[in-house]
Chain A
Amino acid sequence: MERVAVIGVGQTKYQQGKRETFHELVYEAASKALKDTDITVEDIDNVVSVSSDFWDGRTISSMAISDASGAFNKDISTVEGDGTFGVLYGMMRILSGSFGTTMVVAHHKGTESNMNGITNTSFDPLVERRLGLDALSSAALQARRYMHTSGATEEQFAMVSVKNHVNATRNPFATVPMEITVEDVMNSAMLASPLKKLDCSPVCDGAAAVVLAAERNAKKLSTNKKRVWLNGVGHCADAYRLGDRDLADTRALKKAAKKAYEMAGVTPDDIDVAEVYDAFSYMEPLWLEGLGFCEDGTGPEFEERGAFDFGGKLPVNPSGGRMSANPVQVAGLAAVIECVLQLRGEAGRRQVRGAEKALAHGINGMCGQSHCVWILGK
C-alpha cells in the first residue's frame, strides 16, 4: 500500500469569542498550512473539511468555506465529526488513487452557540432528548460508572486536569493555560457530579489544517525534515444508546487501537508521546487503558504516579490537550498537528526529546461512542 504523509500543518490560536468568522478562521489555518508546506494553493488537488452544521448554524457549511480552504474550482467533501476522522477520509481519498494532495481543514466556533443545547440534539428525539441530556450530564454518568468499576477518585481525575492545564502553559495555542492545584479543581463549582468546572474543557473557537500527500507527491513537495508519515490508523464505533453500552468498557477503542498498532507494526511501548481525547478529566485515564498504555482500571493510579506527566514514562497531552483548548470538531486535528510538531522537533518548550513515534486519538459521539487512533512516525 502506498504511504501517505503529513507535509504541512497550520492552526489558529484557540480562544473563546474569537472575532473572525469561521470562514476567516479557515482561511487563516489553510494559509498557514500552505506556508508551512511551502507550496501554493494550486498544489492542492482536493479538500476535506470537518465541521458540524448545528454548531455552525448553517447547513452544508463546507460549501461556505470552499474558497477559504482553497477548494474553489476543485472538490470539497465534508466529515461531520472529529478532525481525526477528517484525516482518515483525506487519506482514503489519496489511497483511492483519485487524488495526490489533500488539504484537511476543520473549523469550530463553539462560543457562538450553546454547548448544552447543541449536544442535546445529538440524542434521539424519540427517547432521551426530551430528558434534557447533553454532553456534560452524559459524561458525568460515564465518570461515575468509571469510578465504580476502577475505584478511581475525584482527586485522581483532578490530577489530570492539573497536569494538562499546566502543560498548556508551554503551548502558545492553548485557551486556558493555568498553574492550578488539585484543591483548585476540587473546589471549583460542581456542575454534574462527579464533574466539577475544572474537570471540564472550555469550548472555544479555532481552525486547523493539514496537508496530506501520497508518497510520490510528498517526496516532490516536501523535505525530510517536514515530512511525517501516517503509519497506522484504526477506527471503531460502539452502540448509540448510552444504556446499550457499559460506559466504562472501552471495547470500541481497544479494537481501533489494535488495528492502528498492527498497521504501523508497533506496540504501545514504542510510542514516545500521545495526544489523547480529554474533554473531561476522567476520559484521559479511561482512554489510556483502552489504548493499551495500562491495564483496565489502573489508569487513575498511573496518572497519580505521574506516568503520563510531561517528564513521565509517556508524556500524554503535552499540548495541554482538549482540557486546555476544546475547539470541538477541530480537537482531533489539533491532536494530529501536535504529534506532527513533536515529531518534527518543533514543539518549542513542550518538546518531548527524541520523539520518533506519536499517537493521536479522537472521538465522535457521546461518551466516546466512536474512536479514531493514529500512529505517526518520522
Chain B
Amino acid sequence: MAGWKDEVEEIVFPGKICVPYSWTVGSTLSKWYVQLRDDGEIWANRCPSCGRVYVPPKIKCIECYKDMNEWVKLPGTGTVETYTVVNYHEPSLHPKKPPFVYGVIKMDGADTGLVHLIDGVAPEKVKVGMRVKAVLAKERDGHITDIKHFKPIA
C-alpha cells in the first residue's frame, strides 16, 4: 500500500524569486511626488462633482467616477483616526525597528486618510483623535517616505 509515504525522506528546496520591475508612477501621483520632493508641500485633488478631496490624489473620484483636475494644497496637519503599535519585526519590510507606530491620519482639508508612520512620541502615548503634523525628510527623492513621519502638534 502507501506505507512508503510515511518513511520517505522529505526533501525541501529553498527558493527565492527576484525579478526587477520599473513601476510607472503615472501623471497624477508623479505630480504629487514632485510637489512633495521639490516644494516640501502635500497636495490633494478635489472631485468636481461631489467636492470630495483625496490624498494621495486619484485620477477619478471613487464615488462619482469623474476626472479630478483641481489641486488643493493641504496644511500638512491632521488627526489620528486609528493607529497600531507594531511589535514584530520584518527587517526586509519595516522602515524601522519595533516598537514603531502606523496610523491613518485624517488630513485637514481632505476627506480621506493617509496611512503613515507616527513618531516623535512614545508609542504608548499615541491616541485616536491626537492632532499631528507631517515631518518631511531633509533629503527627498520622490517617495512616500519623503514624509518622514507624523508627530504630535505640541
Contacts and interface: CB of A to CB of B under 8 A. Distances in A.
A193 interface: yes
B86 A247 contact: no
Interface in B93-112: 93-95, 102-104, 112
Contacts of B87: 189-193
Name the interface size band of chain B: 35 or more
A244 B112 contact: yes
Interface stretch (B65-73, B77-85, B131-139): B77-85
Given A130-B144, A242-B113, A243-B114, A141 B82 contact: yes
A216 interface: no
A133 interface: yes
A339 B112 CA distance: 38
B83 A128 contact: no
A137 B86 contact: yes
Contacts, number: 103
Interface stretch (A33-41, A119-127, A322-330): A119-127
B115 A244 contact: no
B122 interface: no
A144 B84 CA distance: 7
Contact of B115 (A190, A195, A243): A243
Given A116-B90, A133-B102, A57 B84 contact: no
A192 B88 contact: yes
Contact of B95 (A131, A140, A194): A131
Contact of A192 (B86, B95, B117): B86
Contacts of B83: 141, 144
B1 interface: no
A120 B128 CA distance: 24
A140 B93 CA distance: 17
B34 interface: no
B29 interface: yes
A148 interface: yes
Contacts of A195: 84
Contact of A117 (B26, B92, B128): B92
Contact of B116 (A117, A126, A131, A142): A131
B82 A134 contact: no
B115 A133 contact: yes
Given A125-B23, A126-B23, A141 B88 contact: no
B112 A130 contact: no
Contacts of A133: 102, 115
Interface string A226-255: 000000000000010111100100000000
B56 interface: yes
Contacts of A136: 88
B115 A57 contact: no
B85 A142 contact: no
A132 interface: yes
B144 A132 contact: no
A247 B82 contact: yes
A244 B62 contact: yes
A137 B93 CA distance: 12
Contacts of A140: 84, 86, 102
Contacts of B154: none
Contacts of A243: 55, 104, 112-115
Contacts of A142: 82
A117 B93 contact: yes
B39 interface: no
B54 A137 contact: no
- Shortest 4 CB-CB contacts between residues of A and residues of B: A243-B113, A140-B84, A145-B82, A132-B93
13 contacts: A117-B90, A120-B93, A130-B95, A131-B117, A132-B90, A141-B84, A143-B84, A190-B87, A192-B86, A195-B84, A243-B115, A244-B62, A244-B113
Interface of A: 19, 57, 114, 116-117, 120, 125-128, 130-134, 136-137, 140-145, 148, 189-195, 239, 241-244, 247
